[in-house]
Amino acid sequence: MKTNEIKRHRQYEDFEKVIRGLELFTGAMGLDLGLERAGIHTLLASEIDEATRKTIAANRPGIELIGDLRDYSPQDIRESAKLDPKSEIDLIVGGPPCQAFSTAGKRQAFEDERGNVFLKFIELILDLRPRYAAIENVRGLLSAPLAHRPHSNRGLTFPPLSSTEQQGGALYFILNMLRAGGYEVSFNLCTILPISARHKSASG
């Protein structure tokens, strides 16, 4: 084997050994910095805020940057990340919009367009099938119902809350989606709510 062929072969082997991740709802790349320090190579980022996109372009000019996830299919994302249909994705990470679940908002969950983007994120995870996924959101997701009833419409003079109006319904729905897709799920509570999912086929 010629020297150049050996070099290319080694580069291919090194690429195969790299832990490869996709970061969706990237923001200013705070999560990405943590991934880099952990030895994870981010192939693709997504963000719609123009000022934040400029920050990403300035700090990581080599990264593939896409826009609104609702405009991309799983195949589009693979192509943007320069991954063929059979390439394994090690990790998908992201912090989808939190306003629909925050206690500071109207808490309309998936009835809010921003909440529906969260579902798009989960659907992409299930379609792209990474070995692991990590999701960050507000702690209000713990108590957000599937359907929010205003407090002014609660009490002794109103019907009891339905099952969809019970606390935690939104999180329960998300966890069930991931579990149905073959993922084992855990989450931790801190100032934010990180959710991690490991596919049952993942080893190590």
Per-residue pLDDT reduced to its tens digit, 2-38: 445 444 444 444 445 689 999 998 988 888 888 889 8
Question: Can you give the pLDDT at residue 9?
Answer: 42
Whether 98 sits among the annotated catalytic residues: the reply is yes
- Its pTM stands at 0.77
* Burial 152-190, CB ≥16 within 10 A → b, else e: eeeeeeeeeeeeeeeeebbbebbbebbeebebebebeee
Name which residue leads in pLDDT, 106 or 198: 198
- Per the residue annotation, which of 77, 98, 117, 128 is the catalytic one? 98
Domains present along the chain, CATH in parentheses:
1-94 (3.40.50.150), 97-199 (3.40.50.150)
Name which residue leads in pLDDT, 81 or 1: 81
pLDDT digits (tens, 9 = 90+) for 79-96: 999 999 989 999 999 887
Question: Can you give the pLDDT at residue 155?
Answer: 79
Name which residue leads in pLDDT, 72 or 186: 72
